Structure 1
Amino acid sequence: MIQQESVEEYELEIRSLVYGGTGISRLPDGRAVFIPFVLPGERVLARVVKRNKSYASGQVLKILTPSPDRIAPRCVHFGACGGCHYQHIPYARQLEFKKHILGEQLQRLGGIKNPPISKVIACPQPWNYRNVLQFHLTENGKLAFLRTDSSILLEISECHLPMESISQLWQQLDLGPMPEMERIELRQGAEDEILLILHSSSGALPELVCDLPISIVHKSPGSSVVLVGNEHITMQVKDKTFQLSAGSFFQVNNYIAEKLVELLLDKLVYDNNSVLMDIYAGVGLFSAFFAPHVAQIIAVESVPETCEDFIHNLDAFSNVSLYQGAAREVLPQLDVKPDVVIIDPPRAGIHRKALDALVQLAPTQIAYVSCDPAILARDAKRLFRAGYILTESILCDMFPQTYHIESLNMFQKQ
C-alpha cells in the first residue's frame, strides 16, 4: 500500500465486472471499490477518488497484470469519454459479461434463484450501429461529449458508434459559439436522411447557413421550429415505415429493434380475438406489427409529439385506440381486460402507480422490454407479489461497447 498525504493508491485485484461499467475489488479495510476500464483477474494500481461509508470509487493508474482478454480500444478517446465502457473487451466476451451481470442483478435484487436467461442476441455490427447521437457544445462551438463520471466536456475528433451517414456528417458541422444550446442531436433515417435537432434553453432562433442535405429543427421549451427541410424523418423496421419527429423516441439500434419485434411476435400468445395493451407505446413500433393480428390494441403514450407520430403510423388500423397521458394516470382509469401487455418503459422503469393499476387489469402475459437490469429486478419483485412469474429473459445487445443491457422479459400470470 502506498499512501501520501490524502492520496490513496493501492495494488488491487479485480474480482468481477458489475453493472455500471466498472470492476469490483476490495480495499484493505474490506470496503468495496469500483474501478472502470478493467477486467476480472487483472491486477492494477489504482487511486481512490471518492469514499463513502460503504464503498469507494477508484481510478486506474497502471495495469500491472493485464487479462489475456484485454484488447486495444478502437477510439482515441476511450477512457476519457463517458460514452463507451467496454472497448477494451472483445465483443464476444462483452456479451458473456452482460449475461452474467443481468443474471446477477435478477438474482441479487429480484430474488430469482435461477434467472431464466434463455439466449443472447448479438448485434451483427458492434460498431457504427447507432441511428442517433447527441453532442454538447464547447464554449467555442466544438462538438463534445461528457468526460467519464463528470460534467466536464471533452472535445472529440472521432466516434465509432454512429451509423455511416452520421459519422460522415458530424465532423462537417461548424456551428460556432452557441451559449444557449444545451445539446445537439443527429438522427439517421431510412435512405440515409439526416435530422439535426438543436435543443436550446432559449426560443431565439439561431442564424445558420446550411449547405448540407439535411433537415434542421430547433427545439426550446414549448416550441419546435423547422429551420431547414422537414420536421421528421422516416425509420424502417422490417417491411414497415415509421414517421419519427424531433421530440419522439425510437430504438437506437435498427437491427435489435427488428429482433425485438420478431421475438414479441413469437413469444406472446395472441389471436384475432385478443386485446393487446402497449404501454409507453412510442411512435407505434410494436403496435404496428400486432394490429393486423389482434382484435384490439390499447396504447398509452405521454409525449404529445410522439402521439401525433403514433396516430400517423397506425392510421390504417381501426382497431387501435391511443390514450395520451402518463401511464400512472391513464391506467387506473381504464375499464378493459387485456390478454397481453407490452411494456417498454424509460430507464426509470414503471411508475409504482402504473404497475399497481396494471396488475389490477390482470393480463395473462406481460412482455417487459428493459434497458436497466437493476430497475427490471425492482419491478419484477412487484410483479411476483402480484402473482406473476418470470418465464424467460432474452438479452438483446442494443448497446455494444457500453455497459447498458437491453432485455426482453416474459412474465406469466400464475
Structure 2
Amino acid sequence: MNKQYSVEIQSMVYEGGGFSRLPDGKAVFVPYVMPGEQVTIQIREDKKGFALADLVSVDRLHPQRIQPRCAHFGICGGCHYQHIPYELQVAYKKDILIEQLQRIGGIESPVIEAVIPSSNEWAYRNTVQFQVSSKGKLCYAKARDNFPFAVRECHLPMPALAQLWPQLTFEPESFIGRLDLRQNQNGDVLLEMNGNQSEIPELESESSVSIVSLAGDDQVVLAGDGYLIAEVLGRPFLISAGSFFQTNYSGAEALINQVLALVREYKPQRLLDVYSGVGLFSAFLAGEVDELLAVESSPAACRDFVVNLDEFDTVSLAEGLAEKILPELDFSADVVLVDPPRSGLRPQAREAILNQGARAIIYVSCNPATLARDVRAILEAGYRLEKTILVDMFPQTYHMETVALFLI
C-alpha cells in the first residue's frame, strides 16, 4: 500500500488538481480539492520531479466547498470543479492562466483585462460524446484510468440532449464505437455514430433526430439530415456531421464579440484566419476587411465553410494543414487570427505566421499551457502581448478559452 500524507493545498493548477508539497519538498498534485484545505492523500504515482496522489479525505474543509451535483463526480473524467462554487471556479481559472503565462510564457506580471463567465453553469453543452460498450451501454471515461463506465446521469448537456441520451439503447455487440450528439437552439438533434457503417445498429428511441453513420470522411445519412443549422448572434451556420463547432453557444458569442472588437479597433484590410473551422469567426469578420483568406484542414468543415461564407466575394479558403499551407502562402495579412486545437501551433505554422509580419496576431486558445508556450515564441519574434481576455465556456471543468492580442 502506498504511503499516506497529510498536506495543505496551496493553489489550484491547470488540469484540475490542487498543488501541495510532500515533507521532502517534492511537488504533489491532488484532484477534487480547494486551496487552504488540509487533506489526507495517498501517492498514486511517484515520478522523478513530482508525485500524483489520490484524495483520501478532506480533514479541514474550505468554507465555500459545496456538494457536487452529479453522482459520478470523482469517477468521471468530464468534471473537475463541481465541489467549487462557480464564482470561485472562474477566479481559480484566472489565477491558473496568470501562472501559466508567468511560468511557461516568461511574462513577469501578466494582466488579464477581462474575465467573461458562462451565462449557464449547467446544461450548456451543445455537444456530448459517449463510447458505446459491447453491452450496448453509453459510457464516459473514468478520470483515473480512462476506462469506460456506464453513465446514469450528466448535467452538462443542453435540454434536448439531456432528454434524448438516456432513451438511446443498442443491442449488445451491435455497435461498439463513439456516439456524438449535437443540438441547436431549437432542440433539433444530430446523432453521429463513429464506427463500422456496414453494420448499422438498430436505434431504439422515441425522439425524432437526424442520424448519421460515419467512417472516416464517408458518411451515410440514416434519418433526417446530415447536418444541423445553429444560430450564433443572429447568423445561421450549417454544421455537418464530423465538423467541429464550439460547444457553448453563449460562449461562442462572447468569443466572437471579443475578436470582432479587436479587428474593428485595428481596421485591417487583409485578414488571415487560420484553423477557421466552419467559418465561425470569418463570417463576422469578412464584412470588416477587404480580403479574407481562411485555412482549414477538415474536409467536412471546409464544405460547411463554403456554404456559410457563400455571400462573400472577398473570401477564399485554402484546404489543408496549416503547417503545410502557410509556408507556401502568397498572402500578406495585416491581422492574423489563429484558433488552433489544444496542442497549439505547430512549429512550422508558428514560424510561417510570424514571417507574415502582420501588425497584429489574435490568438484564440483552449489550452493555457500551449498558449503560454506559443506566447514565448511570439514575444521573442518582437511582438508584445497587448491584451488577454479569459472566456469561460466550460463550467465545472478546468478548461477555459483565452483571447490574446499581440502587436508588433
TM bucket normalised to smaller: over 0.9
* Cα deviation digits, residues 245-291 of structure 1 (max 9, x gap): 11101000000100111111112246887101110000001110111
Q: How does 1:172-321 map to 2 (within 5 A)?
A: 172-178=167-173, 180-201=175-196, 203-208=198-203, 211-269=206-264, 274-321=269-316
Instruction: Judge conservation of contact 2:86–2:395 (CA < 8 Å) in 1.
Output: yes
Structure 1 unaligned spans of 5+? 1-5
Q: 2:333 aligns with which of 322, 331, 338?
A: 338
Q: 2:320 aligns with which of 313, 316, 325?
A: 325
Does 2:135 match 1:133? no
Q: How does 1:60-209 map to 2 (within 5 A)?
A: 60-178=55-173, 180-201=175-196, 203-208=198-203
Residue 33 of structure 1 is matched in structure 2 by 28
> What displacement does 1:149 show?
2.6
Whole-angstrom CA distance in 1 between matches of 2:266 and 2:388: 23
Report the secondary structure of 1:285's partner residue.
coil
Structure 2 unaligned spans of 5+? none
Report the secondary structure of 2:344's partner residue.
coil
Report the secondary structure of 1:168's partner residue.
helix
User: Percent identity at matched positions?
Assistant: 45
> What displacement does 1:31 show?
1.2
Instruction: Judge conservation of contact 2:125–2:157 (CA < 8 Å) in 1.
Output: yes
Greater shift after overlay, 208-217 or 126-135?
Answer: 208-217
Does 2:372 match 1:381? no
Report the secondary structure of 2:281's partner residue.
helix
The two structures, once aligned, show a CA RMSD in angstroms of: 1.4
Residue 395 of structure 1 is matched in structure 2 by 390
TM-score, with length taken from structure 2: 0.97
The 3 A distance-change label for structure 1 pair 203 and 51 is farther
Residue 354 of structure 1 is matched in structure 2 by 349
TM-score, with length taken from structure 1: 0.96
Instruction: Judge conservation of contact 1:78–1:87 (CA < 8 Å) in 2.
Output: yes
The residue identity in structure 2 corresponding to 1:41 is: G
The 3 A distance-change label for structure 1 pair 42 and 141 is same
Whole-angstrom CA distance in 1 between matches of 2:174 and 2:328: 44
Report the secondary structure of 1:95's partner residue.
helix
Instruction: Judge conservation of contact 2:276–2:294 (CA < 8 Å) in 1.
Output: yes
The residue identity in structure 2 corresponding to 1:183 is: R
Q: Number of aligned residue pairs: give it.
A: 408
Whole-angstrom CA distance in 2 between matches of 1:296 and 1:178: 52
The 3 A distance-change label for structure 1 pair 271 and 22 is closer
> What displacement does 1:99 show?
0.2
* Cα deviation digits, residues 2-61 of structure 1 (max 9, x gap): xxxx42111111111100100011112221111100001111111111111111111111
Instruction: Judge conservation of contact 1:368–1:409 (CA < 8 Å) in 2.
Output: yes
The residue identity in structure 1 corresponding to 2:341 is: P
The residue identity in structure 1 corresponding to 2:133 is: T
Whole-angstrom CA distance in 1 between matches of 2:42 and 2:291: 58
* Cα deviation digits, residues 340-377 of structure 1 (max 9, x gap): 11111000011110111111111111110001101001
Whole-angstrom CA distance in 2 between matches of 1:320 and 1:271: 19
* Cα deviation digits, residues 51-95 of structure 1 (max 9, x gap): 111111111111111110201011111111110000000000001
Whole-angstrom CA distance in 2 between matches of 1:380 and 1:32: 25
Q: 2:48 aligns with which of 35, 49, 53?
A: 53
Whole-angstrom CA distance in 2 between matches of 1:286 and 1:363: 18
The residue identity in structure 2 corresponding to 1:195 is: L
Greater shift after overlay, 286-295 or 219-228?
Answer: 219-228
Does 2:31 match 1:43? no
The residue identity in structure 2 corresponding to 1:404 is: H
Residue 368 of structure 1 is matched in structure 2 by 363
Whole-angstrom CA distance in 1 between matches of 2:303 and 2:334: 26
> What displacement does 1:391 show?
0.6
Report the secondary structure of 1:117's partner residue.
coil
Greater shift after overlay, 185-194 or 174-183?
Answer: 174-183
Instruction: Judge conservation of contact 2:9–2:33 (CA < 8 Å) in 1.
Output: yes
The residue identity in structure 2 corresponding to 1:102 is: L
Report the secondary structure of 1:40's partner residue.
coil
The residue identity in structure 1 corresponding to 2:167 is: Q
The residue identity in structure 1 corresponding to 2:325 is: V
Report the secondary structure of 1:83's partner residue.
coil
Instruction: Judge conservation of contact 1:146–1:154 (CA < 8 Å) in 2.
Output: yes
Whole-angstrom CA distance in 2 between matches of 1:228 and 1:355: 42
Instruction: Judge conservation of contact 2:217–2:300 (CA < 8 Å) in 1.
Output: no
* Cα deviation digits, residues 136-159 of structure 1 (max 9, x gap): 123311111111131221212111
> What displacement does 1:206 show?
2.8
